[in-house]
Amino acid sequence: MEIAYSFDYEDVIDAEKAYDLFWSGAITDKKNFQCPSPGCSAQLTCANIDKPRYAMKKRPYFTTKDKHNCDYVEKCEKSVGVGAEDVGRRAGYIDSQVDTFLFERPKRKAQGNGSKTDLEDKDREIKKRKYFEQDNKPARNGEYNTIKPLVSKFEICKAEEQLDKHYLNIAGYKIPYSQMFVNIDGLDLSTICKYDRIYFGEATVFKVPKKNNDFVVRFAEKIIGERKAYFPTIYIADSIIQKHCWRHVWGNMLNELADSRERTIFYIYSKPKINGKEQEYVNLQITNLNHLDYRIIEDYN
Ligand SMILES: [Zn+2]
């Protein structure tokens, strides 16, 4: 299933939104979902929600422990004629033409007040309203706090040559994916946008010597400056990692990357800047790990 009711977020959301909420810390329990049909109370789990993207064979999706039947399941099966798990996985997510990148952390909406019966009644009401709202405007704009869903969508749109047809809304500005994502390879510093963009390129992770928990991401391709070319870097201080709700997960992932030296594409929402006393390096500053993501390059040989 593509959509579900989230008790924690009090909305009917798709699996990409659930993934984003999980990784930005707004929700922490992958089982706290329910079938979106107002008449059905089957419990749903968001599969893959806790996995980094490269470790997934399938995109995140909602599933039930035991097969269940209701009007929503029937509707899904009728519309495509495949298993409910595959229905609409692309539709809601990819067809949305404008995604919104938010800067404020989404809040967990559910408060633990009131008796259990009150909460259930309240949830039932909200679910019903949101479910029918969604029926009326099927292409809801995705609103995300991490760049993870944006990177996934970028990869699909790139493969389908649709980068000019999808947009990102950032602080009220509509920017096509083709301009939002900037390849580091051969980039000329004099031509970069004054606002932050999502820069990407192949990179390797290193542990910083004598600073146990700091990491440096070093890009494999050069950015061209006025006087010389630079291999840009991202410095991830331990303090940045400690600020994040998934500090242990991020710490482990970076350690693994540093040990394995696997070929990886890094994505960062930032801006390259010349730094150092002698202007000897270029780095992309990071303030929040929600603005960073990576994909392991799969070797088919
Ligand atoms: Zn159901």
What's the pLDDT tens digit per position in 269-288? 999 999 988 888 999 999 99
For the 184-296 domain, the top CATH level (class) is mainly beta
CA of 1 to the centre of ligand 1 (A): 10
Q: What CA–CA distances, in Å, run from 43 to 23, 37, 64, 127, 170? A: 21, 11, 6, 14, 34
pLDDT score recorded for residue 44: 95
CA of 67 to the centre of ligand 1 (A): 10
pLDDT score recorded for residue 86: 44
pLDDT, average across residues 4-8: 92
CA of 108 to the centre of ligand 1 (A): 24
pLDDT score recorded for residue 136: 57
Task: Check if the beta carbon of residue 269 is closer than 8 Å to that of residue 196.
Answer: yes
pLDDT, average across residues 244-273: 94
pLDDT, average across residues 135-142: 58
Task: Check if the beta carbon of residue 241 is closer than 8 Å to that of residue 289.
Answer: yes
* Band of residue 217 on the pLDDT scale cut at 50, 70, 90: very high
pTM of the model: 0.83
Residues near ion ligand 1 (CB < 5 Å) are 35, 37, 40, 42, 70
CA of 74 to the centre of ligand 1 (A): 9
Q: Which of 78, 82, 69, 15 is nearest to 42 (CA)?
A: 69
Q: Is pLDDT at 260 greater than 70 in this prediction?
A: yes
What's the pLDDT tens digit per position in 63-122? 998 889 998 888 877 765 544 444 444 445 556 688 888 876 666 676 665 565 666 788
The region, left, alpha or beta by phi > 0 then psi within -120 to 50, assigned to residue 186 is: left
What's the pLDDT tens digit per position in 225-236? 988 999 999 999
pLDDT, average across residues 165-183: 92
pLDDT score recorded for residue 240: 96
CA 239/CA 242 separation, integer angstroms: 5
CA of 165 to the centre of ligand 1 (A): 34
pLDDT score recorded for residue 255: 95
pLDDT score recorded for residue 138: 46
pLDDT, average across residues 251-276: 93
Mean pLDDT of the chain: 86
CA 272/CA 217 separation, integer angstroms: 13
228: which 2 tokens? 């010389």
pLDDT score recorded for residue 238: 96
CA of 38 to the centre of ligand 1 (A): 8
CA of 71 to the centre of ligand 1 (A): 7
CA 213/CA 234 separation, integer angstroms: 14
CA of 157 to the centre of ligand 1 (A): 31
Domain residue extents for the chain: 3-148, 184-296
CA of 93 to the centre of ligand 1 (A): 21
CA 9/CA 14 separation, integer angstroms: 12
CA of 73 to the centre of ligand 1 (A): 6
* Band of residue 177 on the pLDDT scale cut at 50, 70, 90: very high
